[in-house]
Structure 1
Amino acid sequence: MSAEQIIRVAARGDGVTASGRHVAGAAPGDHVDAGGVITPGPDHAPPACPHFGRCGGCSLQHLSERALSDFVRDRVTGPLAAKDIVVGDVRPVHLSPPHSRRRASLRYTKQKGAVTVGFAGQGSHTLVDIRACAIVTPRLHDVMMAARGFVAKWPKPKLSGQIELAEIDQGIDMLITGIAPGSMAEHELLSGFAKDTGLARLSIDQGYGPETQAEPAPVTVSFGDVPVRFPHGSFLQATRDGEAALVAAAREALAGSRVIADLFAGLGSFALQLAEDGRKIYAAEAARDPVLALKQAANARQLPLFTEHRDLFRNPLRPEELNRFDGIVLDPPRAGAEEQVRTLAASTVPRVSYVSCNPATFARDARILCDSGYRLQTLWPVGQFRWSTHVELASLFVR
C-alpha cells in the first residue's frame, strides 16, 4: 500500500485520506504510509505545547493557521450543506490567538504526597499533569500553576476535585471542590492562598453550592464599559477576543433595528454591547442570578433595557410577542433553541442573528427558519477555542 495524502480534517480532529482512512495527528497535505508513519506537508505545524498528544485540551496544534481556519469554516458550513441550506456570504474565519482563553476547568488529585493538576487525556479519563498551557491567559496560567502548591499544602493525604477558573475585571475567580476546611488553620490556608495569589474571589463547594471564602472587592465582569456583578458559575465566552468578534457580527446583523430581543441573554454580553441611543432592548434568561445581575447593571446606567426571568425552553416567546421586535439575537446552549425557533419561524421578525456553539443543532434550527421563508444571508465562523474541535459562529437570517 503506497502512501496516501491527507485531504481534510474530520470533526474530531483526525486527518482523513481520499479512501476514508482516519489518522490521528495528521494535517491536510501530509502523507501517511501503510504503517501509519506521517510525512509532514506544508500545513503541518510544530505544536506549541509540550503536552500535545497527551492532553485532551487541544487536538489541533499540529495544524497551520490556514489549515486551522479551513477546519473551523468547514465545521460550520458542513452541517448546513448536509441540510441543503445555501449561505449568501461566508465571512473570513476569526481565530482567537494563543494565550487568550479566560476560563478553564481543571481536575486535581493528591495521593501519597504526589499532586497532579491538569486536564483529561485525549480519549480517556486519565489526568495529565499540566506544567505549561499555551491557550490560557498569563494570569490564568499563573493561578493554574499556583493551585498545585495549594493542593500540596492542604493537610489531607488524599484529595480529588475540580478547579474552575475565570478571568474577570478584578483578576481570577477560583472555585474549588473536594476540600472541606474544618479548622482555623485550614481557613487561614485558604485566605492566605487567595491573598498571596491575588485572587479576585476564592470559593469552595462542599456539595451544597459555592461558598465564598475571600472576595476583597465585589467581583464584576464588564461588557463594553458596563460592569456586571459576576455570580458563581456564570457563563462567559471563552475569550474576550472571541466575544468581541461575535458581538461585532451581531451589531452588523442588527444595524438599523430599533427594538431588539436578546434571548438566552445570560449576563448581557450581547444586550449591553448592542445598547445605543434610540434603541430598546428586551433580555430574557432562565438562570435567576445572571438576569438579576444584568437588571441591576442596566438600571445603574439607566439603560433602556428590560429584563425577564424566563425559561425559553419551556416557555418560548410566542409569535405575537416576537412581532414587537424588528431584530432578534439569540445565543442558546449547545442543545440549540428548537422550540423558540419554531415560534420565531411563525413570526414576522425581519432580522435574526443566531449565535451558536454547536454547528449541528444550528443547522437543524436553520432548516426550520429557512423552511418558513427566512434566508441565511451571512455567516461568521469563529474559532475562539483555539486548537480545539469546538467551534462557534454568528449568523444573520432575513425575510
Structure 2
Amino acid sequence: MSAQTLEITRLGGQGDGIADTPAGQVFVPFTLPGDVVNVAMDKGRATLMAVLEPSPDRVTPPCPHFGPDFENAGCGGCALQHQADEAYRAWKRGLVVAALESRNIDAKVGALVSTAPGTRRRVVFAARRTDKGAILGFNKASSHQIVKIETCVIASPRINQALPELRRLATTVAVGKEAFRFSVLDALPGLDIAIDAPFKLKEPERLRIISATRAEPSVARLSFNDEILIEKQPPELNFGSVVVNPPPGGFVQASNAAELVMGDLVCGHLGKSKRVVDLFSGSGTFALRLAQNSHVHAVEADGPALNALDRAARRAHGLKPVTVEKRDLFRRPLMLAELKAYQGLVFDPPRAGAEVQVGDIARSTVKRIAAVSCNPTTLARDLEILIKGGYKALSVTPIDQFLWSSHVEVVALLERPKR
C-alpha cells in the first residue's frame, strides 16, 4: 500500500471523484472536484485518507454513517451527501444530459426535480446473524460487509422510528448464517416487511417469527421468500384515488413524492388519449391514474402485481374500463397490429430497458408516448430507436427519487408529428 497526493478534477458516473495521473484515472470515493487529497493506493484502488485542500462545494454530510471519517462509515447507500446542493443537482442532471448526448439526441432536459430527505418509503436493508444477535444495515460500498445503521436520513420517519423493532425481527429471522435481504415498505396501515433469504425455516422457527411480529406494533405484514407468514392488516398504497394492496416484496416507486411527479407528467401527456396501454405496469402506478380518463390495458409479467392491479380496479368507482394481461414483454412484446388500438402508451421497464418492445412501438401509429426509466443509459438507447422511427422528444424530466445516490429517475414525453 502506497500513499499519494491527488487533485480531483471531476466526478464519475457513480459519484466517485476522479484524478488524472501518469498511470491513468484514479477513482476516489467521498471526494469532489477541487479537492486535493491524500489517498492510500492498493492494487489500483484508492482509499481517502485526508482532505488536504477542500473543494468549495464540500459541505458537512447530514448522516453519521456517511464517509470514511466516521466509525462504521460508508454504508454504501449514498454517494454525495458531502456535495453542495447546486453542484449536486447539476451533476445529477448531467447524468441524463450525457446519456442523451451519447446517442446524439437533441431533447430539452428540464431542471432536476428534487425529493426531500426523510421521504423514502421503500428501503432494502441487509441483515445477518452474529454472536450478539442480528446486524441490520446496508452493505458497505463494493463490499459484502454490512454496516449497522442507527438512523437513515433518506428513510421515512416511520421506518426510522421502527428500527429497534426491525432489528428485533431480524434477530428472530436470522436462523441461518447467510446474509439476507430485509425489505421494508412504509404503507398504510403499517410497515410491510418482505424477507428474501437463502435458507429455509422449520416450523418452530416460523411460529417464533409470527409470534415476534405480532408483538411489534409498527408491522402490518411479514413475508418470508414470498410466503405471507402474518398479515395483521393488508398494506395499502394510493395510486391516485385508487387504493391498492401491493403483493409482498412487489415493486413500488421508492418515494411517494417522486411518484406523484411522475404520475402528473404521464397523465398530463396521455390524459386525452381514449385508449392507453401501460407496458410493465406493475401494480398500477400509472394505469390506475390514467383510468380516470382513459380505457387502459395493463401488461405485466409479474402475476401477483397484476392481480393487485386488477383487484384494485374492480373495487374502485368512477374509473374507465381497465383490462389486464400477464405477458413477458421481453420474450413476447406487443406487436404492431396489437398497438394499432391505442392512442397513448406508457412504459416503465426494469433497468435493462425495453429495446425489443420499442422496436415495434417505433413503427406504430401510437400518437403519444411516456417513457419512464431509472437508467438514463438504456432510456437513451430506447429513445434513439423511437426518434429514428419518427417520434419527437418533447421533454425529458430528471427526478431525484434516489437522493444522494448515482441513480436518477427520468420521464421522457414523445409525440408522433402529424404527417
CA apart distance, 1:313: 1.3
* Aligned match of 1:60: 80
* Aligned match of 2:414: 397
Q: Do 1:43 and 1:67's aligned partners in 2 also have CA atoms closer than 8 Å?
A: yes
The residue matched to 1:306 in structure 2 has which SS? Answer: strand
* Aligned match of 1:381: 398
* Aligned match of 2:17: 15
**Alignment of structure 1 residues 254-333 onto 2, 5 Å:** 254-277=270-293, 279-302=294-317, 303=319, 304-333=321-350
The residue matched to 2:181 in structure 1 has which SS? Answer: strand
CA apart distance, 1:256: 2.6
Q: TM-score, normalised by structure 2?
A: 0.86
CA apart distance, 1:371: 1.1
Q: Do 2:340 and 2:366's aligned partners in 1 also have CA atoms closer than 8 Å?
A: yes
The residue matched to 1:200 in structure 2 has which SS? Answer: strand
CA apart distance, 1:225: 2.0
Residue 324 of structure 2 aligns with an amino acid whose one-letter code is: T
- What's the Cα RMSD here? 2.4
Q: TM-score, normalised by structure 1?
A: 0.90
C-alpha distance in structure 2 between counterparts of 1:3 and 1:56, whole Å: 23
CA apart distance, 1:102: 1.1
Percent identity between the two aligned chains? 35
Residue 100 of structure 1 aligns with an amino acid whose one-letter code is: T
CA apart distance, 1:31: 3.1
Residue 27 of structure 1 aligns with an amino acid whose one-letter code is: L
* Aligned match of 2:44: none
The unaligned stretches of length 5 or more in structure 1 are none
**Alignment of structure 1 residues 110-259 onto 2, 5 Å:** 110-152=129-171, 160-176=179-195, 177=197, 178=199, 180-183=201-204, 187-188=207-208, 190-205=210-225, 210-259=226-275
* Aligned match of 2:45: none
CA apart distance, 1:378: 0.2
The residue matched to 1:133 in structure 2 has which SS? Answer: coil
Residue 374 of structure 1 aligns with an amino acid whose one-letter code is: Y
CA apart distance, 1:189: 5.2
Residue 301 of structure 2 aligns with an amino acid whose one-letter code is: A
Q: Do 2:8 and 2:31's aligned partners in 1 also have CA atoms closer than 8 Å?
A: no
Residue 145 of structure 2 aligns with an amino acid whose one-letter code is: T
CA apart distance, 1:265: 0.6
The residue matched to 1:349 in structure 2 has which SS? Answer: coil
Q: Do 2:162 and 2:218's aligned partners in 1 also have CA atoms closer than 8 Å?
A: no
Question: Which structure has more RCO (C-alpha within 8 Å, separation ≥ 6)?
Answer: 1
In the superposition, relative to structure 1, how do residues 122 and 159 fare at CA in structure 2: closer, same or farther (>3 Å)? closer
Residue 362 of structure 2 aligns with an amino acid whose one-letter code is: A
The unaligned stretches of length 5 or more in structure 2 are 40-47, 68-73
Q: Do 2:271 and 2:290's aligned partners in 1 also have CA atoms closer than 8 Å?
A: no
Q: Which segments of structure 1 move beyond 3 Å, counting only runs of 4 or more?
A: 1-6, 16-23, 33-38, 150-160, 192-195
C-alpha distance in structure 1 between counterparts of 2:161 and 2:347, whole Å: 34
Q: Do 1:111 and 1:159's aligned partners in 2 also have CA atoms closer than 8 Å?
A: no
Q: Do 1:112 and 1:158's aligned partners in 2 also have CA atoms closer than 8 Å?
A: no
Residue 405 of structure 2 aligns with an amino acid whose one-letter code is: S
C-alpha distance in structure 1 between counterparts of 2:5 and 2:135, whole Å: 43
Aligned match of 1:48 in 62, 72, 84? 62
CA apart distance, 1:159: 6.5
In the superposition, relative to structure 1, how do residues 199 and 123 fare at CA in structure 2: closer, same or farther (>3 Å)? same
Q: Do 1:194 and 1:202's aligned partners in 2 also have CA atoms closer than 8 Å?
A: no
The number of residue pairs the alignment matches comes to: 390
Aligned match of 2:32 in 27, 32, 36? 27
Deviations 1:17-44 (A, max 9, x none): 688654322234x332576753223322
